[in-house]
Structure 1
């Protein structure tokens, strides 16, 4: 089938970030072990390639484990211990030791100084070559059979065997089915990190407008988020929405992505907003409301909200009655929008779901059900908000797997 060795010490299923990170760390510590990465595609590391718009959002500048875990809707409790073993500072050091410097951007995201994901890809490929890790592309795994102390991995190009297996396939339904057949519980996957589709005159024709600091609530739920909001051609996006979609992934799926949200564009309560507008009425009495932007809102958004408050284009502040002031205050602090669907965030697809966390030993990331079977990355029911956190889970889990395997050899 190939010129490669078919009886291996370790097979890593999945040629993504977690798979390469695990392979390199194991091989570096155990140069005599035979290790192969199986990748179903022609090349690996495709998610690394597109991450961060092609720049690769390697991690996030959060250096306290208890704060870092707050970015994980699923896996928060389980990752606290692992992050004490390997987290952001260790990731930075790992790449720096291999000649790759990372930089911190204003929002805390960290990228290679080169601003190119190819830098990270080249690093992994070079390290894999350096430590003789076999890269078996176009190897689609059909099934895994446990034969005494060996794993038999059946692929479209023949069979391989190994003493240990690391599952690092990310969100892969076929692998989840395979793991289910082996006796693992799979939490049904649903999309996470998505934008909201909305058709509403208040945001029509103003794509690209950003409200810098909003509060968003999903009506009739406890879901709430804060941060920037971006108006798009199909609805709304940006960190406030992506965070809401991540933490509400399961609940919003049950609603079939049809629900109402309330947006507070200015982070005032309605009473304080009414008082502010009354003062504005006095101060700007002769000016038109439409052209007197308040609260540092984007001009185009302000105009949309004013018109939605039954205020005419030529009306001056002095002309506003009590009802108009209250209606405008409501649009500013409690604008309700109907969400009619979702869209994937750029090209980065993340899911909530995967191997049930109760069936994993988080000191080693080994299966509690099947000895010598390990997990790394999003194949587990762990996911995070956008900003480099999903990659940090990949690095941490892969490193701890490599440490556990090295101890056992």
Structure 2
């Protein structure tokens, strides 16, 4: 049983003047907070990679892209969400796609993805610094200057694509990599330009091995005084970190949330303890 200022929870007896609950995104912490009167926003994973059922893509695991623009549409989503378009590095994995841009999308879309059982569509722009017209001109120029060379032997220099991924795009377009640049007709060249600028991937789950970094959900923020991190419902109970309904994108924001919340709670408890002396 936990007893804090007269409020009790049905567990082994622990008595304290103050208690800081900083249990992370664990079910035990959520259960304890609920027993002490708090409501819990249903937890779900956040910051995870996307599973893509594409064997040819998975064979390219390890290939990275310094900069892409990725747009996510979650299955069942009726309205476009600006937060589900992100720019940044991306990585091909053994089961799909990862990297900072994917992790940010998973954070912004965590709850919708959870509801949809992690189903959706991802459109990736592999040349975000170039317009569609510029990509088309690059391909047209390549058709002229490298007419006698094989399409799959290299990607045009001005496109940020490695040869193996370039071959993958050609195969998706059912273009023989051994055919010559000069044999690439206008229609195929246009479709290839479109694919580079808006390449679709079917999302069919989240990354394997439960590799998500944080949990979305937790104790409702309205029930906590964020200036002291003290519970509004259970006096002398403090909460900090992932036990709260707070989760951030990559870049250290989740660490900072835990550190700052813990510092505020610890300082508040220290000041109140000092006042009692």
TM-score, normalising length: structure 1:
0.60
- How far residue 358 of structure 1 moved from its aligned partner, in angstroms, is 1.3
- How far residue 154 of structure 1 moved from its aligned partner, in angstroms, is 6.2
Aligned to 1:368: 232
Aligned to 1:144: 2
Aligned to 1:207: 61
- Structure 1 residue 225 and structure 2 residue 86: aligned? yes
Q: Distance in 2 between matches of 1:153 and 1:218?
A: 42
Given that 1:167 and 1:374 are in contact with CA atoms closer than 8 Å, whether structure 2 keeps it comes out as: yes
Given that 2:142 and 2:181 are in contact with CA atoms closer than 8 Å, whether structure 1 keeps it comes out as: yes
User: Aligned residues, how many?
Assistant: 263
Aligned to 2:153: 291
Runs of 4+ in 1 over 4 A off after TM superposition: 150-155, 344-348
For residue 194 of structure 1, give the secondary structure of its aligned residue in structure 2.
coil
Given that 2:48 and 2:212 are in contact with CA atoms closer than 8 Å, whether structure 1 keeps it comes out as: no
Give the one of 256, 267, 278 matched to 2:117.
Answer: 256
For residue 61 of structure 2, give the secondary structure of its aligned residue in structure 1.
coil
- How far residue 185 of structure 1 moved from its aligned partner, in angstroms, is 1.7
Given that 2:240 and 2:258 are in contact with CA atoms closer than 8 Å, whether structure 1 keeps it comes out as: yes
- How far residue 195 of structure 1 moved from its aligned partner, in angstroms, is 0.9
> Superposition pairs for residues 9-408 of structure 1, below 5 Å?
143-146=1-4, 149-150=5-6, 158-219=12-73, 221-222=80-81, 223-267=84-128, 268-294=130-156, 295-343=159-207, 347=211, 349-408=213-272
Q: Distance in 2 between matches of 1:368 and 1:344?
A: 38
Given that 1:229 and 1:241 are in contact with CA atoms closer than 8 Å, whether structure 2 keeps it comes out as: yes
- How far residue 285 of structure 1 moved from its aligned partner, in angstroms, is 2.1
Given that 1:194 and 1:345 are in contact with CA atoms closer than 8 Å, whether structure 2 keeps it comes out as: no
Summarize the Cα distance change of 1:345–1:386 in structure 2 as closer, same or farther, 3 Å threshold. farther
Deviations 1:210-229 (A, max 9, x none): 12211111136421111111
Structure 2: tracts of 5 or more residues without a match: none
Given that 1:151 and 1:164 are in contact with CA atoms closer than 8 Å, whether structure 2 keeps it comes out as: no
Structure 1: tracts of 5 or more residues without a match: 1-142
TM-score, normalising length: structure 2:
0.88
For residue 58 of structure 2, give the secondary structure of its aligned residue in structure 1.
coil
Q: Greater relative contact order (Cα 8 A, min sep 6): structure 1 or 2?
A: 2
Q: Distance in 1 between matches of 2:207 and 2:175?
A: 33
RMSD value, Cα: 2.0
Q: Distance in 2 between matches of 1:288 and 1:304?
A: 15
Q: Distance in 2 between matches of 1:248 and 1:258?
A: 11
- How far residue 270 of structure 1 moved from its aligned partner, in angstroms, is 2.7
Given that 2:38 and 2:219 are in contact with CA atoms closer than 8 Å, whether structure 1 keeps it comes out as: yes
Given that 2:95 and 2:208 are in contact with CA atoms closer than 8 Å, whether structure 1 keeps it comes out as: no
- How far residue 378 of structure 1 moved from its aligned partner, in angstroms, is 0.4
Q: Distance in 1 between matches of 2:147 and 2:55?
A: 27
